[in-house]
C-alpha cells in the first residue's frame, strides 16, 4: 500500500501534535497511520493539506507552470493556446525579430489570417507576411516552425522550469544558435531553469558559449542506461572535461565506451 505513488510521507514537523509520521493521499484527501494501520488518525486531512501547501508554497508555485517542449506540440494547439496569449501580451514583435534574424529575413509580421471553407465556417491561421507573399505557419519548414513555437512558449512563463527535448532537431547550426540565444536570454529575464536533453555536441558547444556570454550557469550531465539491469547512471561533465575530451579527439557522447 505504501508503495503507491499517491501516498506522501508527512513528518512530525508538519503535524507536531501527532508525534509520529503519517501518510497522506492528495488524490483521496485521506490520512493513514502506519503504526495502527488505520485511516482514523485523529488529525483532519484538510488541516494537513493546508499545512502542506503553506509549507511548500514557493515550490508549488515554481512547479505549477512547468513547460515541456517537444515535437508533439501541434500547430493547432499553438495557435489556440499560445499565440493568442502572445498577442494579448504584445510579444509578437520579439518572435518576429527572431524569425527575421535567422530564418526568414524578409518577413514583416506574424499575423492571424482568416480562411473561409465550403461549409461557410471561418477559421484563423497564423501566417508570416512579407512584401510579396503570405505563408501559413503549417507550410513553413520544421526548423522555423519549431523556433516560433518554442520561443513563444518560453516568452509566456516566469519563475518556473522549462523542459526541452532535442531542440537541435530540424535546425541548422545558425538556427540552433539563434533559437538558443533567444531562449537563454528569456530564461535570464524570466527566472527560468532549463533542462535540455540532446544528442548533439554542437548544441552543447553553442549553449556553453552563449551561457558564458550571458553570465549563466551551465551543468552538463551524461546519462547512460545499462540495458542488462535497466539501471540509469548519471555522470556530471564539467565544462573543462568536455573541452579536453574534444581537444584530444574524443567525442563526449561516446564516453560510455571508456
Give DSSP secondary structure letters for 192-227.
-EEEEE-S-HHHHHHHHHHHHHHT----EEEEEEET
* The pLDDT value given to residue 97: 95
DSSP annotation of 79 reads: I
Residue 16 domain flag: yes
Per-residue pLDDT of the chain (258 residues; tens, 9 = 90+): 444 547 888 887 788 877 778 888 888 888 888 888 888 888 888 988 888 888 888 888 888 889 999 989 988 889 888 999 999 999 999 999 999 998 989 999 998 877 655 555 556 788 899 888 888 888 889 999 999 999 999 999 999 999 999 999 999 989 999 999 999 999 999 999 999 998 888 898 899 999 999 999 999 888 878 788 888 888 787 655 666 566 545 566 555 544
Within this chain, do residues 74 and 24 fall inside the same structural domain, yes or no? no
Give 121's contacts (C-beta < 8 A, 6+ positions apart): none
Residue 27 domain flag: yes
Residue 201 sits in a domain whose CATH number is 3.40.50.300
Residue 188 domain flag: yes
Count of domains observed in the chain: 2
Query: 37, exposed or middle or buried, with CB in 10 Å at 0-12, 13-18, 19+?
Result: exposed
Within this chain, do residues 116 and 46 fall inside the same structural domain, yes or no? no
Within this chain, do residues 140 and 170 fall inside the same structural domain, yes or no? yes
14: which 3 cell numbers?
Answer: 508538519
* Domain interval for residue 32: 7-55
Sheet holding 7-10, edge to edge: 7-10, 22-25, 30-32
Residue 119 domain flag: yes
Amino acid at each position: 500500500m505504501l508503495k503507491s505513488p499517491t501516498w506522501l510521507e508527512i513528518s512530525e514537523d508538519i503535524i507536531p501534535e501527532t508525534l509520529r509520521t503519517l501518510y497522506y493521499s492528495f488524490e483521496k484527501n485521506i490520512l493513514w497511520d502506519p503504526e495502527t494501520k488505520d485511516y482514523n488518525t485523529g488529525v483532519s486531512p484538510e488541516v494537513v493539506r493546508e499545512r502542506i501547501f503553506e509549507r511548500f508554497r514557493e515550490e508549488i508555485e515554481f512547479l505549477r507552470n512547468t513547460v515541456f517542449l517537444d515535437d508533439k506540440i501541434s500547430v493547432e494547439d499553438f495557435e489556440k493556446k499560445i499565440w493568442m496569449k502572445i498577442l494579448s501580451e504584445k510579444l509578437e514583435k520579439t518572435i518576429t525579430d527572431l524569425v527575421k534574424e535567422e530564418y526568414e529575413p524578409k518577413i514583416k509580421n506574424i499575423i492571424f489570417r482568416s480562411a473561409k471553407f465550403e461549409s461557410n465556417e471561418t477559421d484563423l491561421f497564423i501566417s508570416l507576411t512579407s512584401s510579396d507573399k503570405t505563408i501559413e505557419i503549417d507550410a513553413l519548414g520544421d526548423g522555423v516552425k519549431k523556433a516560433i513555437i518554442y520561443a513563444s512558449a518560453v516568452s509566456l512563463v516566469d519563475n518556473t522550469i522549462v523542459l526541452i527535448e532535442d531542440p537541435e532537431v530540424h535546425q541548422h547550426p545558425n538556427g540552433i544558435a539563434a533559437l538558443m540565444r533567444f531562449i537563454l536570454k528569456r530564461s535570464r529575464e524570466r527566472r527560468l531553469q532549463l533542462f535540455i536533453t540532446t544528442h548533439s555536441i554542437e548544441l552543447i558547444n553553442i549553449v556553453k558559449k552563449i551561457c558564458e556570454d550571458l553570465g549563466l550557469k551551465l551543468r552538463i550531465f551524461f546519462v547512460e542506461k545499462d540495458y542488462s539491469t535497466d539501471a540509469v547512471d548519471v555522470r556530471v561533465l564539467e565544462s573543462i572535461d568536455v573541452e579536453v575530451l574534444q581537444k584530444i579527439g574524443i567525442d563526449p557522447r561516446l564516453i560510455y565506451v571508456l
